[in-house]
Structure 1
Amino acid sequence: MRQDDCYQLGEVIKTHGLNGEVSVLLDVDFPDEYQNLESVFLEQSGKLVPFFIETIQINGNKALIRFEDIESLNDAKNLVKSKIFLPLSSLPELEEGQYYFHELVGCEVFEEKQLIGIAKNVIDLNGNQLLSVEANGKEVLIPLLDEILLQADIKNQKLMVKLPEGLLDMYLEDDSDPQDDSDPQKE
């Protein structure tokens, strides 16, 4: 399984107890939908390795997981900071007009007919999702709100946005300030 064929479910954040359990931070909208997982892929030395789940308890966006053949604190320590993945094929089909955040990456972002840039990433800041767009060699962060992201044509890799006034200028204005003639050292 290649990482390109998967989406990140979360990350092992710490060990739990002495019997090999780990605490996982889930990076998904509906964590409870993963209560019946049987297996996942963990990134180990840059490769995805399948791990089978003995038990899983989900509480909010965290899960307590016990994997098969991980039976001690030392075994569990080797999993800390491992990213957890599931195949893209396991995602449920969405209704027309809906999309997964990972599908936005790589799309061209337009305002009216003007190309702004290419979507590079979706960033979650305390529940506020931002679309990171590379525009003229700079990063522009666009809030992922219905009134801003008007249309997502995933098939054609195009996003239509209506940006708040001044947002783009704030990111793209020239960094070089004109010389300030009010330098006190010149007097």
Structure 2
Amino acid sequence: MSRILIGRLGKPYALSGGIRFRTEGEVGLLEHLDRVWIEGKGYRSIEGVEEVGGDLILYLAGVTNRTLAEELVGLAVYADEAALPPLEEGVYYYFQLVGRRVFVRGEAFGEVAEVRDTGAQDVLVIRKGLREYLVPLQAPYVEVRADGIHVDPIPGLLEE
């Protein structure tokens, strides 16, 4: 079974065991999951998710007070790939883009090393040899196809 990193646990929230959740790309997944796998702790059922002041607060089974929540700060949170909700045609999870080949004007260029959520937009980190290039995923010159990601860049975007 494959697990996908979906975020990290942040600081505790209030006194009842809530803990801030920092997403690592896959926004909105927690509402669709029954359980998550916590780094070094195993599976925990999700008892609740709420948004408070722009923060996502996660409530996990067995985490009933602030002291228990403090023990989880900084730990990675994973979801089973099979538990992820299906996406509509042409929409991808970040992990599905990592490792894909990148073509520039039809020629092999590099591969996607990671996808970053910068807040305003998602950015592809494209690795070519030792160099990395940042390309906005939503740009009109970026197209995800079955054989890879095709980029027809604006001048200067991929130049050294």
Structure 1 counterpart of 2:6: 9
* Kept after mapping to 2: 8 A contact 1:53/1:66: yes
Aligned positions of 1:31-180 closer than 5 A: 31=28, 34-35=30-31, 37-44=33-40, 49-59=42-52, 62-153=55-146, 156=147, 158-169=148-159, 172=160
Structure 2 residue runs of 5 or longer lacking an equivalent are none
Q: How many residues align?
A: 160
Alpha carbon RMSD of aligned pairs, Å? 2.4
SS of the aligned residue for 2:69 comes to helix
Bigger share in helix: 1
Structure 2 counterpart of 1:184: none
SS of the aligned residue for 1:109 comes to strand
SS of the aligned residue for 2:39 comes to strand
- What percentage of residue pairs aligned between the two structures are identical? 24
Cα offset, 1:14, TM superposition: 0.6
Moved more, 95-104 or 131-140: 95-104
Structure 2 length as normaliser, TM-score? 0.84
Structure 1 residue runs of 5 or longer lacking an equivalent are 173-187
Cα offset, 1:34, TM superposition: 3.4
Cα offset, 1:127, TM superposition: 2.4
Sort the Cα spacing of 1:95 and 1:65 in 2 relative to 1 into closer, same or farther, 3 A. Answer: closer
SS of the aligned residue for 2:95 comes to helix
Cα offset, 1:59, TM superposition: 4.6
* Kept after mapping to 2: 8 A contact 1:35/1:57: no
- Distance in 2, matches of 1:150 and 1:27, equals 22
- Distance in 2, matches of 1:20 and 1:58, equals 15
SS of the aligned residue for 2:113 comes to strand
- Distance in 1, matches of 2:26 and 2:65, equals 31
Cα offset, 1:58, TM superposition: 3.3
- Distance in 2, matches of 1:66 and 1:59, equals 13
Cα offset, 1:52, TM superposition: 1.6
Sort the Cα spacing of 1:50 and 1:124 in 2 relative to 1 into closer, same or farther, 3 A. Answer: same
Aligned: 1:21 with 2:18: yes
Sort the Cα spacing of 1:73 and 1:34 in 2 relative to 1 into closer, same or farther, 3 A. Answer: closer
- Distance in 2, matches of 1:118 and 1:60, equals 37
Cα offset, 1:165, TM superposition: 1.1
* Kept after mapping to 2: 8 A contact 1:149/1:161: yes
Structure 1 length as normaliser, TM-score? 0.73
